[in-house]
Amino acid sequence: MSETQKTIIILRELTEAFMVRSLTSLRHYAKAGGLSMPQFSLMMRLYHGGGCEVHDIGSQFDVTSAAASQMVERLAQGGLVVRAENPDDRRVRQITITAKGRALIDRGMDERYRWVDELVGFIPAAHRAAVLAALPVLIEAEKKLPQLHPHPHSREAIMALRERH
């Protein structure tokens, strides 16, 4: 087996382990907070992407307008999002995350990465310098990859991964 093939195998293993840990910790955090994964995903979208309209939620999450409205209603009742009229079109409702919602996501992100902090303790001291030297190389290589474009089946792939774990 070539060095390239070995590298691919080990990076796939690492990616799978990190994805499973990351998604599992997010799922547990969302569930403990009384949120479904679609609700938590919407909160993440609002946190990172800013406000949006209800019809955007339906298309982004591949749900009906009624389902998107119900999801927003539950989050609004919990004080996590607010609905306001769009100043350009009063018929359209703009959804934004509240300070309470932002704090929830901040805590979720901390929880998501808590295991990374713990992981460092399991790396033998003799290997930490090698890991520290290699990871920036991986980060720079990733930045050189073509820009990601959402795959039409990415939602299904994520859901299948969640169901496995």
Q: How far apart are CA 123 and CA 141, in angstroms?
A: 23
Taking alpha carbons only, the member of 1, 21, 7, 94 closest to residue 55 is 94
Residue 86 has a pLDDT of: 72
Give the tokens for residue 128: 């930490």
Q: Where are the domains of the chain?
A: 3-146
Mean pLDDT by 10 residues, the chain (165 residues): 92 92 88 89 89 83 85 93 81 88 91 87 95 92 79 48 48
- Reading the block at residue 29, the tokens are 């955090």
Buried b (16+ CB within 10 A) or exposed e, 141-165: eeeeeeeeeeeeeeeeeeeeeeeee
Return the H-helix or E-strand segment holding 123.
Answer: none
Please give the C-alpha separations between residue 122 and each of 7, 23, 64, 141, in angstroms, as whole numbers. 22, 21, 45, 26
The predicted pLDDT at position 124 comes to 96
Q: What stretch of H or E contains 2?
A: none
Tokens of 124: 């033998």
Task: Give the pLDDT confidence score for residue 153 in this predicted structure.
Answer: 44
- In three-state secondary structure terms, 97 is strand
Residue 165 is predicted with a pLDDT of 42
Max distance between CA atoms of the chain, in angstroms, equals: 63
State residue 163's pLDDT score: 55
Classify domain 3-146 by CATH architecture: Orthogonal Bundle (1.10)
